């Protein structure tokens, strides 16, 4: 009998991501191009995977390397990614396309600030990237309270 | 999007490739001693290194404080492995203030 999916949501997200890694890599790369991410920042060098925009083995939602390369990962499929922190409900209820946009915008703003996560939380909701409105709402919900408008 | 701190005697080259490799394990007695100062902190014990929550996760401040304490006692490295960065915790505090 075939095994069901893992019961843990992060495990499930990674399992799904590994099976659809190629499609997700294509989707995330295409979306970064559409959003106007500079070519040199689209994806990152990944050992054993070459150059990739999607990293199925990681669980953080997304990342940016020291050279500014942006990636999305299996955390995009995890509705509990943000735990109980601000924005968690907006994240959990958002469809995949808006989560991808939110991740790309957050990582783009973090990379341009040298990896400053707090700076990204504050500035990503106002990003000039043409992300979906619902993605912007996720980022607004994640913004620290004292800077929400 | 969310971050964790990897703590240990880490190979810097490996971190740049987003890999965690410890050249030797952390001193268990020191880890145990410092852990008593952070009751309930979620610490993952891996092969010679530790992982604690950081930005975008619950208990991020205590995770960072734990890493700083352990680094001060052992001289080990602290890294954001997912993003291929060695972390200067003192510099991070400055960045948080100027964000």
ipTM computed for the complex: 0.89
Q: Average of pLDDT values for A42-54?
A: 92
Q: How many CB pairs under 8 A join A and B?
A: 60
Label the pairing between strands A70-73 and A54-55.
parallel
Q: Average of pLDDT values for A42-57?
A: 93
Chain B interface includes A141 (CB < 8 A): no
pTM over 0.90: yes
Q: What is the pLDDT of residues A65-111, one digit of tens each?
A: 999 999 999 999 999 999 999 999 999 999 999 999 999 999 999 99
Facing B1 at nearest CB: one of A60, A116, A122: A60
Chain B interface includes A46 (CB < 8 A): yes
Q: Do the chains contact at A114 and B1, CB–CB below 8 Å?
A: no
Q: Is the pLDDT of residue A121 over 60?
A: yes
Q: What is the pLDDT of residues B32-74, one digit of tens each?
A: 999 999 999 999 999 999 999 999 999 999 999 999 999 999 9
Helix axes B60-74, B28-35, angle to 10 degrees: 140
What per-residue confidence (pLDDT) applies to B94?
66
Dihedral over Cα of A116, B22, B66, A84: its sign: positive
Delimit the domains of chain A by residue range. Answer: 9-147
* pLDDT band of B95, cuts 50, 70, 90: low
Q: Do the chains contact at B99 and A64, CB–CB below 8 Å?
A: no
Delimit the domains of chain B by residue range. Answer: 4-98
B99 CA to chain A: closest CA distance, Å? 5
Residues B88 and B19 sit within 8 Å (Cβ to Cβ):
no
What per-residue confidence (pLDDT) applies to B90?
84
DSSP-derived 3-state class of residue B99: coil
Q: Is the pLDDT of residue A147 over 90?
A: no
Helix axes B89-98, B60-74, angle to 10 degrees: 150
Q: Do the chains contact at A115 and B83, CB–CB below 8 Å?
A: yes
Q: How far is CA A88 from CA A45, A142, B25, B96, in A?
A: 30, 8, 36, 22
């Amino acid at each position: 009998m075939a095994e069901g999916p893992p019961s843990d949501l992060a495990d499930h997200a990674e399992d799904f991501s590994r099976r659809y890694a190629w499609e997700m890599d294509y989707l995330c790369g295409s979306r970064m191009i559409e959003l106007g991410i500079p070519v040199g920042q689209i994806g990152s060098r990944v050992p054993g995977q070459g150059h990739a925009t999607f990293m199925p083995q990681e669980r953080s939602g997304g990342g940016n390397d020291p050279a500014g390369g942006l990636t999305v990962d299996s955390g995009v499929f995890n509705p509990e990614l943000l735990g109980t922190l601000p924005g968690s409900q907006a994240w959990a209820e958002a469809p995949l396309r808006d989560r991808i946009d939110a991740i790309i915008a957050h990582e783009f703003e973090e990379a341009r600030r040298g990896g400053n996560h707090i700076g990204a939380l504050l500035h990503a909701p106002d990003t000039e990237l043409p992300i979906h409105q619902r993605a912007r709402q996720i980022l607004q919900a994640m913004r620290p309270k004292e800077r929400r408008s | 999007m969310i971050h964790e701190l990897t703590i240990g005697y880490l190979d810097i080259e490996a971190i740049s490739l987003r890999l965690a490799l410890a050249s030797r394990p952390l001193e268990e007695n020191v880890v145990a001693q410092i852990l008593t100062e952070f009751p309930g902190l979620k610490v993952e014990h891996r092969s010679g290194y530790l992982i604690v929550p950081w930005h975008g996760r619950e208990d991020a401040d205590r995770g960072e404080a734990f890493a700083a304490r352990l680094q001060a006692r052992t001289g080990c490295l602290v890294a954001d492995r997912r993003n291929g960065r060695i972390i200067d915790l003192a510099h991070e505090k400055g960045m948080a203030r100027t964000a």
